[in-house]
Structure 1
Amino acid sequence: MKYIEVVAAIIRHKEKYLCVQRGVNKYPYISHKYEFPGGKIEKGESHQQALRREIQEELLMDIEVKEHLHTVEHRYPDFTIKMYAYLCTSANDEYTLTEHIHGLWLSKNELERLDWAAADIPIVQGIMRSKG
């Protein structure tokens, strides 16, 4: 089974979190699901470098990577993913979608209303339990 390591940016701006929706995917169980943006770590990259690169590519947005929040390992039917989630901040809330079909800023209490990719659910639950 394919094993993938990725990073995810939990981008926070003025008490809201950026949530992005995937388009159609070859795996129907992640098509149209919401996720935290990010992607694969390239050879020789640190997690922080990968996050800044991925967010610039996907959202044309500059972020500051803060602390590591959570690591999730999840087995989907066709692959296993290990996702390192980091709290990130941005100087503003402007972004341009280059890969996703929808994006929105939500407060932590609104996060559970979205249809999340399974690997992102533990991160959502952690944010909702947090005091920040």
Structure 2
Amino acid sequence: DYEYFSKRALAYQKYWDKDTRFFRGKNQDGSWLTPFNPVHSTHRNDAYCEGNGWQYTWLIPHDVEGLISLLGGDDAFVSKLDSLFSVNADLGDAASPDISGLIGQYAHGNEPGHHTVYLYSYAGL
């Protein structure tokens, strides 16, 4: 069981798109869902539930070190995390009302992001 679930806990890496630098949804054939806009959100009708690409990029609380590595190390991790709080863009008319308390794209009022502000502590800067 330990080996099975340890391997499964790393499955998030399959959804990392190194070109866009976001986690993305995939089609059944393994290709990326398109079109892709990391800000746009369509409530329960896209790859994210109550969030968008910006918010779900940080939902790896069980392997923050792995996330830091995917993002290119501490400096790149902190730079992208800083950007989360400064990217101002409209989520779209179909976004979930649960995506609330926005500071940039950080959604303080929604569960997928409650831990996000604490991620700075993991960067070895």
- TM (norm. structure 2) is 0.30
Give the number of the structure whose residues are more often helix, by fraction: 2
Q: Which has the higher strand share?
A: 1
Greater gyration radius:
2
Higher relative contact order, chain-length normalized (CA < 8 Å, sep 6+):
1
What is the TM-score of this pair, normalised by structure 1?
0.29
